[in-house]
Chains A and B, each alone.
Chain A
Amino acid sequence: MTDKKTTLPLTAETPSRFRNTIGKYIIRRNSRCTSCGLCAKLCPYGVHPRYDNYAKPMRPQTHKCVGFACKDNDYYCVDRCPEKALSLRLNPIMETLGDYRWTTEMILGHWAMAESGELPVVDLEYSLGNSGGGFDKIRFKKAPKKDRLDISDEEIDTSIILNKRGDGRPEKKISIPCYGGGMSYGSTALPVIIGRARAAKRLNTLTCTGEGGYPEELVPYKDHVITQMATGLFGVREETIQHAPVLEFKYAQGAKPGLGGHLLGDKVTPEVAAMRETVVGNALFSPFPFHSVYSVEDHKKHVDWVKQVNPRLLASVKVSTPTDVDMVAVGSYYAGAHIVHIDGSYGGTGAAPDIAKKNIAMPIEYAIPKVHRFLLDEGVRDNITLIASGGIRNAMDVAKAIALGADGVVIGTAEMVAMECVRCGNCESGRGCARGIASTDSELGYIITQEWTEQRIVNMYMAWRKQWCNLLRSFGMRSIRELVGRSDLLVHLDYLEEKERSRYQPAPSEALIL
């Protein structure tokens, strides 16, 4: 419990890098427009930009349009235009953008959050996907009105503690229940890496190097950067372990459990090759498994070693979600880990075989309660931080994961979406991401700046925080830590009788063309 007010990082309007934004609705202006400027004066959402010293009509900012819901307002531009020059319709491009897990509305909703730092005003469903299971079928119960707290967002504590072992090492409190997932130097553009680190610093949380080394540019943010040690050991040096507040052993990745990382040759530029101490243009495979770990004792040896190198360091163990994930978690605890990080099968990746992403290991929704319960039964739950990732897409997924038993989560894809990722899935091919996010190409990788990246991520998390605060207030909670393991506050639609089920928002279900 805290009665201290939190100082939150400032949000700032951070528009899209691209000239034409994509919105749920399209508002078009035809040649009858006389540029009278009435629409610009009327619209409170800024759909019709107009500058004092420029009289010609400008193309509407369609992504800000609230659509047909505006019809009853006296500022509805389509009806008020004296020349009837404006028309409104649903944007047909919506069908070509999203997928079952990240629906188009969820992507657009996150773009809106990253732009403004506020929750979207357009009617977008950004908290539920269309997957028909897991988080998309889980809802929070409706909280009794009497439980609601009348407190501001600043009075609500969303911080979590990463070291619960009480072993003399730092407690390490981060201010939001999320930190950034590993994305390596080589897989993502340098401005993205640095931008994420800057955002982590402002949010007082962490980001992770991934398995690609530690560029010099990261050093100023070292207190907020996790060093990842994965099977290829690319770029891991004693000083990068000494920099790190947390060292993450990556045993497996949810999107491709049991398979090594893979950086295609095109992405191995001279800079990347130098960082990884490899050859330019040669594809890099991280082997599997750790060739030095074939037992939990071997694992303990690793943990002991890094703890010895840096006496203030916390050890995190990232594993995927096989059927015995609960046993693995307990084994990691006894090997001395501070954080067990379980990465579910529907998580993101820079490159993975489609067969692995779909089929190998269990979704995170199953793994969290399984591991949480097992740690409780073993009597060690209070001594270890359980972090979940892999398919946690939005603020409500984070809250659901915590209520299922996680202390916090790791976010990767949502941060990418904040940077205007469209999830086209071409991170790995040719020159890499055409949108400049996951690319080391000398041209593509620099259409994004670290300042822009930083602010978009800060904005998104600040919007998420608003959702968490609303939820916590409704349940009479002052700290997100009170939510951990509170699965009694959750319902799953498939476990409710029809009448009760009808009280909750139905799961979106629409057949999509994949």
Chain B
Amino acid sequence: MPKKYHIPVENTPPRFLVVGKYATLEFREDCAGSCRECVKKKCVYDIFKENQQHISSMDEPEYLYTCMSCFRCVQECTKGIFSRVINPDYRSLGDDYWHADIISRTWYQAHTGKIPVSGAGYRGPFVGKGFDSMWTDMSEIVRPTRDGIHGREYINTSIELSRRLTRLQFNEDMSIASKLPPIMEIPLPLLFQLPDFGVLGQGVAESIARAAHRLGTLLFIRPEQYSDALSAYTDSLIPCLTKDNYTEHPSLIKQSRMIELEYKTGIGQEISAVRAINPDVIVSVGIPLNSRAAERAVVLTQDDVDTLHFYADNHGNELGSDDPRFLKEMIREIHLRLVKGLIRQKVKLIFSGGIAMAEHMAKSIICGADGASIDIPLLIALECQVCYRCKKDQPCPVSLEEVEPEWGSKRIMNLMGAWRNQLLEVMGAMGIREARRLCGEVGRSMWFEDLEKECFGPLFGERKVKGLGC
């Protein structure tokens, strides 16, 4: 039996004090002073332990990453001097897509390698934009037999990045007559790329490359971002070349397992030229995710490209549109166009931009992607606060330029370990044992519009509010 894929995780604490959600405020003028019942000493989670040591010098509210929100200090202080507020720094994390809770959970996963588990029910809105307007299905009976995430039955998360023939031809002696294209497989449906912002120093690049190498996945990287430090990870790098510069990098093409060419009209010629240099290289074409993405996908698939890599913006939106569609709708359009053209099986589809959580990866695949490529979550794993100060040439609050590659790669591996385990949870519930089988399986999902129509339509008639109504 082949070795089962497993991502080793290891507790890797952050370098800086993490921005916590809550602050406990104390009205010290009312403190009894030498109270024997002090709730700080009695905290169930011991979070005040360190505070006590420097309490006399503390002149600002202490923001508590570790506060577990039990409210016992607030409710039990003999003088009632405690109150709580939301940390203003927590509010300012991220933006309207990369929410504070996404960043905070990513930090947790990168720190511990564990999947976020909690008690009590779901706390969020009934339905939300983008991926939050679909639910994954589950099967009451038909599902892999498993005990928690360390299941006895193996769930395979690997995907291929290489093209396939739509049919095989045989010689008279039943030997295969078709010329078989090279096969390339990665063990999880995720690839890496460097974000378009951030302090992307050597430490960051090496952390990501090292993590990709250890995980068995790949990193999209431009030739100018190569360095000596990355030479040990050549097998895990996908040089992103253009029509104009690919001739300058024959050695990169020769040494790489996979390369990416930026989409330009008539790119087919360059694809042939690249394959002439390295016949076994897997060729991806990077395409902006815009209104012409689907038609380009059809043409490129017919040109025998291995993988199509679509770039949405950082919020998962269509590019170049006043009324942009979200990744989910764009994936459906491209996938279905290829299905309709009977060529979907020939090519692999990778989408990037806006993949922020493990569930986005699973839902992208359900919509029709083979896999996803991520960038910002990798930075967040390295403690990025998505504050965009770097875009304004201001110093990074978490000194990303000083990231140590071994620490960084462990944080990224932790995050990927947690994401993969979450994918296993979702796939296990659906009764699907292969990530490849999940591709385009919308039957294993439920969509807001469909459920409203099916369940509420007969009761309430037609929806008068467009969209999600929230």
Contacts and interface: CB of A to CB of B under 8 A. Distances in A.
A495 B428 contact: no
A111 B139 CA distance: 37
A370 B446 CA distance: 14
B70 A509 contact: no
A434 B117 contact: no
B359 interface: yes
Contacts of B85: 92-93, 95-96
B117 A92 contact: no
Interface stretch (B158-166, B373-381, B455-463): B455-463
Interface in B96-152: 99-101, 105, 115-127, 132, 135-143, 145-148
A76 B182 CA distance: 82
A118 interface: no
Nearest to B72: A434
A359 to B, nearest CB: 5
Interface in B338-373: 357-359, 362-363
Interface stretch (B55-63, B73-81, B328-336): B73-81
Interface residues of B, number: 82
Contacts of B462: 495
Interface residues of A, number: 107
B140 A19 contact: no
B372 to A, nearest CB: 15
Q: Which of B101, B122, B469 has the most CB of A within 10 A?
A: B122
Nearest to A358: B122
A369 B469 contact: no
A262 B44 contact: no
Nearest to B118: A425
Interface string A274-303: 000000000001111101011100000000
Contacts of B197: none
Given A362-B451, A514-B101, A514-B124, A20 B141 contact: no
B121 A422 contact: no
Q: Which of B119, B137, B142 has the most CB of A within 10 A?
A: B119
Interface string B287-328: 000000000000000000000000000000000000000000
Contacts of A444: 44
A67 interface: no
A353 B425 contact: yes
A369 B455 contact: yes
Interface in B163-182: none
Given A353-B422, A362-B135, A370-B454, A513 B126 contact: no
A287 B119 contact: no
B145 A291 contact: yes
Given A22-B75, A353-B117, A363-B126, A132 B426 contact: no
Contacts of B428: 258-259, 288
A24 to B, nearest CB: 14
A444 B428 CA distance: 35
Q: Which of A92, A490, A514 has the most CB of B within 10 A?
A: A514
A78 interface: no
B5 interface: no
A130 to B, nearest CB: 8
Contacts of A501: 464
B430 interface: yes
Contacts of B123: 99-102, 423, 425, 514
B38 to A, nearest CB: 13
Given A93-B74, A359-B426, A513-B86, A289 B121 contact: no
B466 to A, nearest CB: 9
Contacts of B267: none
B280 to A, nearest CB: 38
Given A257-B138, A262-B148, A490-B459, A366 B451 contact: yes
Interface stretch (A158-166, A171-179, A203-211, A342-350): A342-350
B35 interface: no
A429 to B, nearest CB: 8
Contacts of A134: 126
A373 B458 contact: yes
Contacts of A348: 119-121
Given A99-B123, A497-B464, A426 B140 contact: no
A20 B76 contact: yes
B11 to A, nearest CB: 15
B426 A18 contact: no
Contact of A356 (B139, B357, B429, B470): B429
Given A136-B126, A258-B143, A495 B461 contact: yes
A495 B83 contact: no
A397 B313 CA distance: 40
A413 B75 contact: no
Contacts of A182: none
Contacts of B132: 358
Contacts of A495: 456, 460-465
A359 B135 contact: yes
B21 A513 contact: yes
A405 to B, nearest CB: 9
Contacts of A72: none
A352 interface: yes
A297 B88 CA distance: 57
Contacts of B70: 422, 424, 426, 433-435
Nearest to B131: A359
B122 A101 contact: yes
Interface stretch (A144-152, A319-327, A455-463, A468-476): A319-327
Contacts of B463: 494-495
Given A258-B429, A289-B141, A20 B120 contact: no
A111 B144 CA distance: 42
A244 interface: no
Contact of A435 (B72, B86, B105): B72
A51 B344 CA distance: 80
Interface in A443-500: 444, 487, 490-498
A19 B469 contact: no
Nearest to A187: B119
A310 interface: no
A396 interface: no
A346 B465 contact: no
B192 interface: no
B155 to A, nearest CB: 12
A354 interface: yes
Interface string A306-326: 000000000000011011100
A293 B141 contact: yes
B69 interface: yes
B387 interface: no
B117 A352 contact: yes
A56 B121 CA distance: 44
B138 A322 contact: yes
Interface string A396-419: 000000001000000001001000
Given A431-B44, A434-B45, 20 more contacts: A16-B75, A93-B83, A100-B125, A100-B126, A133-B469, A258-B143, A285-B147, A288-B428, A289-B141, A322-B140, A346-B121, A353-B422, A354-B115, A355-B116, A356-B425, A360-B136, A369-B455, A416-B120, A492-B460, A493-B465
